[in-house]
Amino acid sequence: MSDKQAEGNFWTPPPRPDWLAAFLEETQAWDGTAVAPLEADELIATAMRRTGLSDFGEDDWREPFQILVRAIEEEAELHLFGRLWTRQDLLLFLETRLQIEALFKAHPEIEDEVIDQPVFVTGLPRSGTSILFELLAQDSQFMAPANWEFVLPCPPPEAAIYRNDPRVPRAHDLITQMGRVAPTYKAMHEMGAWIPNECGVAFRLSFRSQHLAATFQVPTYTNWLFAADQEPAYRYYKRLLKLLQWKNPRRHWLLKAPEHQSFLPVLFKVFPDARVIVTHRDPVKAQGSVTNLMGTIYSMRSDKPFDAKAFEELLSPEGTAARLDQMIDWMESGTIPADDLTSSRYADLIEEPVAALEKLYAKIGFTFTPETRTAVEAYLAQKPKGKFGAHNYAVDQQDSTRKLFARYQDYFNVPSED
């Protein structure tokens, strides 16, 4: 055992399912780089050949794409199944960009679509963003993008066949792959074609996505991402939303991603009439949870030990506290419109979800109708806590860690959890 392992820096992955273990053992002598090459120019050429298209739109995706692919090859240490899976993903992203640009070129009127008062949910990972998002999605005045729309958005969904779109089965299979590769993931995150999904999934099309940083151990890409301008990702995302509502109109988009919290000035620049809800939970508790989540995701494609301390910017208490303090600074300085930022405490949502939701509606300026109340109560009744298994993880309760979050917890009145 190395000194670093002895210090407990490495996270222990969950056991692999028998089918994957057998596949990796059977193919251990194969040349993965030949079977599933991951080279930027070759992937681009393959996507163009497969689609017969050549216009990817603005070139601001190329630099992050090249950095990501190179980092995957040099740093991620993917096993063969991981390489095959990753090649499939990257080609899908590239081909989708080509298809989107072809649609805008053929139908320039798509650009005239208006994204009216979208509601964004953000906050620390594992702080209640998902359950709040799913509860708000029960309201008919909001429309959350279904998981399958982000995965296979072309051709754009049509209202007449939306619930029976023939792409849904394929999308569902792609989306639930993670649960088959790592069954313990099902206890952490519900999956399915119709589950509302995060904006970070769509950000993958611009290759400026924390979802990508959380998929591979690629510190070179991660460091680039946190220093990069995120406006191209938000502008391309707005382009995608226009496409998705073109033939399937939405009254108000309901959108969610923890990473929005780090880019609020850009979000409001691209979506100036947005309403943003920030979820708040004891950051010490949330910190331990996200570490376990990321370790599980990394282990799906690689045998490389997960060293959480190698990802200070993403995972360290210091980095998390700095981002939370930055949000407060933006509010106090007027960099972001504080009146359009609404807080939702995890504790309130868990203890009395319907009451918490009703108060939230009043703050964001929308009506909590009797129909919405009925829909929310019905949803809660069929989704009891722990339905998909317990998600257990260690929590760092050191006083030094707790002190880092004192300003944040005081400012938003966030209670500490045992």
Label residue 51 by pLDDT band (50, 70, 90).
very high
- Residue-level pLDDT at 163: 94
Query: What residues form DSSP beta bridges with 121?
Result: 256, 277
Task: Give me the mean pLDDT over the 225-249 stretch.
Answer: 97
Q: Which of 149-153, 207-211, 389-393 has the lowest mean pLDDT?
A: 389-393
pLDDT score at 385: 57
More confident: 392 or 277: 277
Q: Which of 7-21, 111-125, 169-183, 207-221 has the lowest mean pLDDT?
A: 7-21
Q: What pLDDT, on a 0 to 100 scale, did the predictor assign at position 43? A: 98
Contact 296, 182 (CB under 8 A): yes
Give the integer Cα–Cα distance in Å for 278 and 294: 22
What are the residues whose beta carbons fall under 8 Å from the beta carbon of 132, sequence distance 6 or more? 121, 277, 279, 344, 349
How confident is the model at residue 148, as a pLDDT? 97
151-165, 173-187, 375-389: least confident range: 375-389
Where b means 16+ CB within 10 Å and e means fewer, 29-45 reads eeebeeebebebeebbe
Does the pLDDT at position 394 exceed 50? no
Beta partners for residue 277, in sequence order: 121, 342
Asked whether the beta carbons of 43 and 69 are under 8 A apart, the reply is: yes
How much of the chain is in helix, strand and coil states, percent to nearest 5? 60, 5, 30
pLDDT tens digit sequence for 334-354? 999 988 899 999 989 988 999
- The whole-angstrom separation of Cα 279 and Cα 124 is 7
pLDDT at residue 361 is higher than 50: yes
User: pLDDT for 264-320, tens place per residue?
Assistant: 999 999 999 999 999 999 988 766 556 677 889 999 999 998 876 665 445 678 888
Provide the strand spans (E) within 212-340: 252-256, 275-280, 306-307
Residue 231 pLDDT exceeds 60: yes
Q: What is the pLDDT of residue 11?
A: 67
pLDDT of residue 195: 87
At CA 362, angle to CA 359 and CA 365, rounded to 5? 150
Instruction: Kindly report the pTM of this predicted structure.
Output: 0.90
Alpha helices for 183-282 (secondary structure H):
199-203, 210-213, 219-227, 231-246, 264-270
DSSP for 151-199?
HS--SPP-GGGGGG-TTHHHHHHHHTHHHHH-GGGGGT----TTSB--H
- The mean per-residue pLDDT over the stretch 167-179 comes to 96
Average pLDDT on 89-110 reads 98
Residue 238 confidence (pLDDT) above 60: yes
pLDDT at site 144: 92
Give whole-number Cα distances, 211 to 59, 205, 258, 406, in Å. Answer: 21, 11, 10, 28
Using the predicted structure, report yes or no on whether residue 395 has a pLDDT greater than 60: no
- 153-162, 230-239, 296-305, 398-407: the lowest-pLDDT one: 398-407
Average pLDDT over residues 124-128: 82
Note if the bond before 155 is cis, omega within 30 degrees. Answer: yes
pLDDT score of 389: 37
- Specify the amino acid at residue 146: A
Q: How far is it, in rounded angstroms, from Cα 59 to Cα 81?
A: 30
What's the pLDDT score for residue 391?
42
Tell me the H-state helices in 3-113.
Answer: 3-6, 18-26, 32-35, 40-51, 62-71, 80-106
Cα radius of gyration (the chain): 21
Look over the chain and give the mean of its residue pLDDT values, rounded to a whole number. 90
Sign of CA pseudo-dihedral 276, 280, 283, 287: negative
pLDDT reported for residue 196: 84
